[in-house]
Amino acid sequence: MKIGFTARALVSACALGAAGMLALAPASASAHPGHDPDPPRGPRATPPPALLYRSGTQVRPHADAPALPRLSARSWLVADADSGEVLAAHEAHRPLPPASTLKTLFALTVLPTLPAGVPHTVRPEELAGIGPGSSLVGVAEGRTYRVADLWRGVFLSSGNDAVRVLAALNGGWRATAARMQEKARALGALDTRVLSPDGYDTPGQVSSAYDLAVFGRAGLRNADFARYCGTAEALFPGAGGRAYGIRNTNRLLTGADGVARYPGAIGVKNGYTTEAGNTLVAAARRGGRTLVVTVLNPRAGGGHAVYEEASALLDWGFGAAGRVEPVGSLDGRRARPGPGPSAVPVVAAAPPERRVGWAEACAIAGAAGMGAGAVSLVTRGRTE
């Protein structure tokens, strides 16, 4: 890994030039890109955290509150991302396999340590140990990537290959898992046990709807995390300086595969493994309010039920604002909880950027000489 390049170092490949035109790389000028500030303000008086440990569904509605939707997920939670108030939850602390939603914690842990513009040439040993059936973005040994490219591979394609390389740059697989565990504890996410940083099924590795909501909320307050998780489409470096298109596997963000895009969706991360089933941390903004929801392992409705149930929870949460009493707080178990300055936004400020549509991205790639086949959607692997 070469150190000494700026976070926005110029690269010569046409593919990366097109990616720069798309303005998808996080800006080095973003305020506190690796900072995880305390919540902007404390929640209203809430019941003790023990309420969220009770079995079944927890909600405290006013008389005019909308009814909760019928859900099949084994565990779920909906919270206000600004205040941290939990509006409703079902089995919030139930330990369950998280699948690739655990990559939210990976990003919170590793993003601050690696400058986005640093180039790195992948070594064969860095791709060793990827689990069978893993989702891949197409990282190749001997090829040089910027750290920002690898992060797009993590957030959009859920690439376990990209996670492997970033973990290697962070001190190794086991060291990264240990640091993730420390980060979880610092955030008050005490249900989470990290054994495989990419979220791959590993005996004993668990998280919870509560903890994953904590990670999603913290991520939205990190400028780079928020930028990556809210990116729908990007170009990824390929062989011979050619790029191919990748699309975010979070269908609420893209509206792909017959799933309706959720109005105001801003991220965060989906996942799937055999043991975990479908998992999702989703966030959306409406009318100045930002909600974060977690849905783990729906047991009815097919592979897209996780998106349908998350959409229903978001609809309910926006409709229930001000008409329910909180049942807990995402700050409830932090080692040193405390309100931060009220001026700090839920999603960290970032410089304005120009986004273009997918068709225009293809045109840009063509103008850069990448050829008709250079920009194409790729889907690899069986996990997300």
Catalytic status, residue 100: yes
Give the Cβ contact number of residue 282 at 10 Å: 29
Catalytic status, residue 269: no
Among 103, 135, 183, 207, which one carries the catalytic annotation? 103
Among 30, 83, 158, 311, which one carries the catalytic annotation? 158
Catalytic status, residue 103: yes
Among 100, 157, 311, 329, which one carries the catalytic annotation? 100
- Give pairs for 284-291: CB < 8 Å, separation 24+: 284/252, 284/314, 284/318, 285/347, 286/318, 287/318, 289/80, 289/82, 289/318, 289/321, 290/80, 290/81, 290/82, 290/220, 290/266, 290/346, 290/347, 291/78, 291/79, 291/80, 291/81, 291/87, 291/317, 291/318
Q: In sequence order, which residues have a C-beta less than 8 Å from that of residue 284 and are 6 or more positions away?
A: 252, 262, 263, 264, 265, 266, 290, 291, 314, 318
Residues serving a catalytic function are 100, 103, 158
